[in-house]
Structure 1
Amino acid sequence: MKLTSLAGFSCWCPIYIALILFSLPVRTHAFPSAFNLQQYVSGTVMDESGLPLPGVNIVIKDRGAGTMSDENGKYTIAVQDTDILIFSFVGFKTEEIPVKGQTSINVQLEEDVTTLNEVTVNAGYYTVRERERTGNISRVTSEELELQPVVNPLQALQGRMPGVSITQNSNIPGASGTIRIRGRNSLRSEGNLPLYIIDGVPVNSSPITSSGGLLSISEGIYPLNTLNLSNIESIEVLKDADATAIYGSRGANGVILITTKKGREGKTDFNLGMYSGAGRISKKLKLLNTPQYLEMRREAFINSGETPTESNAPDLLLWDPDRHTDWQEELLGHTAFITDIQASVSGGNAQTSFLFGGGYHREDMVFPGDFGYQKITGNFNLNHTSANQKFQTTLSVNYGIDNHKSFNDGLFIQKAILLPPHAPSLYHADGTLNWENGTWTNPLSYLKKSQEVDTDNLVTNAVLSYQLAKGLTVKSNLGYTNLHSEELTKNPKSSNNPASESENSSQHRTTKRQSWIVEPQLTYTTTIGNGKLEALIGTTFQKSMTHVRSITGQGYAEESLIGNLAAVDEQNVLFQEDTEYAYTAIFGRIGYQWKRKYFLNLTGRRDGSSRFGPNNRFSNFGAIGGAWIFSEELFIKKKIPFLSFGKFRGSYGTTGSDQIADYGYYDTYRPTRGTGGLYPTGLANPDYSWEVNKKLEFAGELGFFNDRLMFTASWYRNRSSNQLVGYALPAITGFTSIQANLPATVENTGWELELFSRLFQTDDFTWNTSLNISFPKNTLVAFPDIDNSSYANTYKVGASLNSVLLYQSLGVNPETGLYEVADTNTDGRYDFEDRTVVKDLGQKYFGGVQNTIRYKNLSLDFFMEFVGQDGRNTLALFRPPGRNMENQLPGVLNRWTQPGDQAYMQQYSITSTANMAYERAAGSDMAISDASFLRLKTISLSYRIPSVYTEKIGLNDCKIYLHGQNLWTITRYKGPDPQSAPAGSLSYLPPLRTITAGVQLHF
Structure 2
Amino acid sequence: MAFFATCCARLRRSLRMLCLAAILLQGALPAFALKAPQPLLLTFSLKEQPITALLETIEKVSRFKVVYDHNHADLQKKISLTAKEQPLEDVLKNAFRNTRLRYKIIDNYIVITAEAPAPDLPVQAVTVALPQQDKTVTGTVKGKNGEALPGVSVSVKGTASGTQTDAGGKFRLAIPEGDVVLHFTFMGFLPQDVPVSGAVMNIVLEEDVKALEEVVVVGYGTQRRKELTGAVASVKSADLAKLPTTSVTAGLQGKVPGVYVSQVSGAPGAQASVRIRGIGTTGGNQPLYVVDGFPINTGALNIGGSADRIDGLSIVNPNDIESVEVLKDAAAAAIYGARAANGVILITTKRGKEGVTRVNLALSGGVQQLWKKPEYLNAQEFATLANEIHKNSGITPNPEWAEPEKLGKGTDWIDLIFRNAALQEYNIGVTGGNSKLQSAFSAGYLKQEGTMIGTWYERYTARANMDYKVNERLRFGGTFSFSYSQAKANTNNEFRLGIFNLAKMMYPTLGQDAVIQGKPEYYTTQGDNPLLRAQSMDQRMRDFRTLLSGYGEWEIISGLKWKTSVGADVSNNRNRSWLDKFERGFARNLSATLNETYSQNYTWLIENTLSYARSFSGHQLNVVLGQSAQKNNSSWISATGIDYLNDQLQVINGSKEDLRKAGGTEGQYALASYFGRVNYDYKGKYLLSASLRRDGSSNFGPKNKWGMFPSVSAGWNVVEEPFLQDVRAIDMLKLRASWGQLGNDAIGAYNYMSTFRLGNALDNYVLGTGQDLVVGASMLRPGNPDLKWEASEQVNIGIDAAFFKGNVYVTADYYIKNTRNMLVSPPVSIEAGFQNAPFINAGIVTNRGLELLVGYRNKVGEFSFDVNANIATLKNKVVSLGVGQPITGASLSGYFDLRGTYTEVGKPIGYYRGYETGGIYQTKEEVNKTLQPNATAGDFRFVDQNGDNKLSDIDKIYLGKPWPDLTYGLNVNLGWKGFDLNLFLQGMTGFQIYNISKMTGYAIKYFGGSGLMNGTKGALNRWTPGSNRNDVPRLAYTDVNGNYFNSSSFYVEDGDFMRVRNLQLGYNLPQSLLHRVKPLQSVRVYVAAQNLFTFTRYSGFDPEIGDTSPLASGIDDGVYPQPRTFRAGLNIGF
TM-score, L = length of structure 2: 0.75
The offset of 1:82, in angstroms, is 8.6
Unaligned ranges ≥5, structure 1 = 1-59, 62-80, 99-110
2-side partners of 1:817 and 1:264: how far apart? 73
Partner in structure 2 of residue 324 of structure 1:
410
The offset of 1:209, in angstroms, is 4.2
The offset of 1:194, in angstroms, is 0.9
1-side partners of 2:403 and 2:640: how far apart? 40
Partner in structure 1 of residue 1116 of structure 2:
985
Aligned AA for 2:1039? Answer: S
Aligned AA for 2:216? Answer: V
5 Å-filtered alignment, 1:830-845, equals 830-845=951-966
Partner in structure 2 of residue 94 of structure 1:
191
Call closer, same or farther: CA 1:362–1:91 in 2, change over 3 Å.
closer
Task: State whether residues 287 and 887 of structure 1, in contact with CA within 8 Å, keep that contact through their aligned partners in structure 2.
Answer: yes
Partner in structure 1 of residue 1073 of structure 2:
949
Q: Does 1:856 align with 2:977?
A: yes
Call closer, same or farther: CA 1:296–1:703 in 2, change over 3 Å.
same
Q: Does 1:881 align with 2:881?
A: no
Call closer, same or farther: CA 1:92–1:278 in 2, change over 3 Å.
closer
Partner in structure 1 of residue 17 of structure 2:
none
Q: Please, which of 817, 830, 847 is the counterpart of residue 731 of structure 1?
A: 830
The offset of 1:963, in angstroms, is 1.4
Call closer, same or farther: CA 1:566–1:944 in 2, change over 3 Å.
same
Partner in structure 2 of residue 225 of structure 1:
314
Q: Which moves more between the two structures, 283-292 or 337-346?
A: 283-292
Q: Does 1:648 align with 2:743?
A: no
1-side partners of 2:655 and 2:588: how far apart? 23
Q: Deviations over 1:173-219 (max 9, x none)?
A: 1222211100000022xx21211111111111222345522xx2x4x
Partner SS state of residue 493, structure 2: coil
5 Å-filtered alignment, 1:232-381, equals 232-309=321-398, 321-332=407-418, 334-369=419-454, 371-381=455-465
Q: Does 1:962 align with 2:1061?
A: no
1-side partners of 2:1059 and 2:705: how far apart? 47
Partner in structure 2 of residue 53 of structure 1:
none
Identity of aligned residues (%): 27
Q: Which moves more between the two structures, 498-507 or 395-404?
A: 498-507
The offset of 1:483, in angstroms, is 1.3
1-side partners of 2:510 and 2:315: how far apart? 36
5 Å-filtered alignment, 1:712-751, equals 712-751=811-850
1-side partners of 2:310 and 2:1029: how far apart? 47
Partner SS state of residue 893, structure 1: helix
Q: Does 1:126 align with 2:221?
A: yes
Task: State whether residues 411 and 508 of structure 2, in contact with CA within 8 Å, keep that contact through their aligned partners in structure 1.
Answer: no
Aligned AA for 1:352? Answer: L
The offset of 1:623, in angstroms, is 0.5
Task: State whether residues 642 and 655 of structure 2, in contact with CA within 8 Å, keep that contact through their aligned partners in structure 1.
Answer: no
Partner in structure 2 of residue 177 of structure 1:
272
1-side partners of 2:735 and 2:394: how far apart? 73
1-side partners of 2:775 and 2:540: how far apart? 32
2-side partners of 1:345 and 1:496: how far apart? 56
Partner in structure 1 of residue 1028 of structure 2:
901
The offset of 1:83, in angstroms, is 9.9
Task: State whether residues 853 and 861 of structure 1, in contact with CA within 8 Å, keep that contact through their aligned partners in structure 2.
Answer: yes
Call closer, same or farther: CA 1:743–1:984 in 2, change over 3 Å.
closer
Q: Does 1:207 align with 2:338?
A: no
Unaligned ranges ≥5, structure 2 = 1-156, 159-177, 196-205, 762-773, 890-898, 924-936, 1007-1011, 1107-1112
Partner in structure 2 of residue 917 of structure 1:
1043
Q: Does 1:780 align with 2:878?
A: yes
Aligned AA for 1:94? Answer: P
Call closer, same or farther: CA 1:865–1:499 in 2, change over 3 Å.
closer
Call closer, same or farther: CA 1:571–1:856 in 2, change over 3 Å.
farther
5 Å-filtered alignment, 1:756-767, equals 756-760=855-859, 762=861, 764-767=862-865
Aligned AA for 2:975? Answer: R
The offset of 1:270, in angstroms, is 1.8
Call closer, same or farther: CA 1:363–1:223 in 2, change over 3 Å.
same
Partner SS state of residue 559, structure 1: coil
Q: Please, which of 760, 773, 782 is the counterpart of residue 683 of structure 1?
A: 782
Partner in structure 2 of residue 819 of structure 1:
940
Partner SS state of residue 184, structure 1: coil
The offset of 1:147, in angstroms, is 5.8
Q: Please, which of 190, 193, 196 is the counterpart of residue 289 of structure 2?
A: 196
5 Å-filtered alignment, 1:153-168, equals 153-168=248-263
Call closer, same or farther: CA 1:380–1:600 in 2, change over 3 Å.
same
2-side partners of 1:848 and 1:925: how far apart? 30
1-side partners of 2:975 and 2:332: how far apart? 35
Call closer, same or farther: CA 1:893–1:535 in 2, change over 3 Å.
same
Task: State whether residues 553 and 570 of structure 1, in contact with CA within 8 Å, keep that contact through their aligned partners in structure 2.
Answer: no
Partner SS state of residue 162, structure 1: coil
Call closer, same or farther: CA 1:379–1:966 in 2, change over 3 Å.
same
5 Å-filtered alignment, 1:451-470, equals 451-470=539-558
Q: Does 1:696 align with 2:696?
A: no
Q: Please, which of 494, 497, 500 is the counterpart of residue 411 of structure 1?
A: 494
Partner in structure 1 of residue 766 of structure 2:
none
Count of residue pairs the alignment pairs up: 897
1-side partners of 2:952 and 2:574: how far apart? 44
Partner SS state of residue 234, structure 1: strand
The offset of 1:610, in angstroms, is 0.8
Q: Deviations over 1:512-571 (max 9, x none)?
A: 111011110000011243110000000111101111222211132211111343655346
The offset of 1:818, in angstroms, is 0.5
Aligned AA for 1:812? Answer: I
Which structure would you say has the larger Rg?
2
Partner in structure 1 of residue 484 of structure 2:
401
Task: State whether residues 362 and 373 of structure 1, in contact with CA within 8 Å, keep that contact through their aligned partners in structure 2.
Answer: yes
The offset of 1:682, in angstroms, is 4.2
Call closer, same or farther: CA 1:516–1:726 in 2, change over 3 Å.
farther
Call closer, same or farther: CA 1:453–1:888 in 2, change over 3 Å.
same
The offset of 1:318, in angstroms, is 12
Partner in structure 2 of residue 40 of structure 1:
none
5 Å-filtered alignment, 1:515-664, equals 515-565=603-653, 568-570=656-658, 572-638=660-726, 640-664=727-751
Partner in structure 2 of residue 382 of structure 1:
466
Q: Please, which of 915, 930, 948 is the counterpart of residue 807 of structure 1?
A: 915
Q: Deviations over 1:844-878 (max 9, x none)?
A: 11121111111111111121111113333667534
Task: State whether residues 750 and 774 of structure 1, in contact with CA within 8 Å, keep that contact through their aligned partners in structure 2.
Answer: yes
Task: State whether residues 509 and 522 of structure 2, in contact with CA within 8 Å, keep that contact through their aligned partners in structure 1.
Answer: no
The offset of 1:582, in angstroms, is 1.1
Aligned AA for 1:795? Answer: T
Q: Deviations over 1:22-79 (max 9, x none)?
A: xxxxxxxxxxxxxxxxxxxxxxxxxxxxxxxxxxxxxx99xxxxxxxxxxxxxxxxxx
Partner SS state of residue 226, structure 2: helix
Bigger RCO of structures 1 and 2 (CA < 8 A, at least 6 apart): 1
Give the alignment's Cα RMSD to 1 decimal.
Answer: 3.1
1-side partners of 2:253 and 2:915: how far apart? 33
Partner SS state of residue 143, structure 1: helix
Q: Does 1:141 align with 2:230?
A: no
The offset of 1:948, in angstroms, is 2.2
2-side partners of 1:876 and 1:318: how far apart? 25
Task: State whether residues 136 and 238 of structure 1, in contact with CA within 8 Å, keep that contact through their aligned partners in structure 2.
Answer: yes
Task: State whether residues 435 and 497 of structure 1, in contact with CA within 8 Å, keep that contact through their aligned partners in structure 2.
Answer: no
Call closer, same or farther: CA 1:487–1:737 in 2, change over 3 Å.
same
Q: Does 1:424 align with 2:508?
A: yes
The offset of 1:925, in angstroms, is 2.4
Partner SS state of residue 1003, structure 2: coil
Call closer, same or farther: CA 1:500–1:475 in 2, change over 3 Å.
closer
2-side partners of 1:439 and 1:737: how far apart? 43
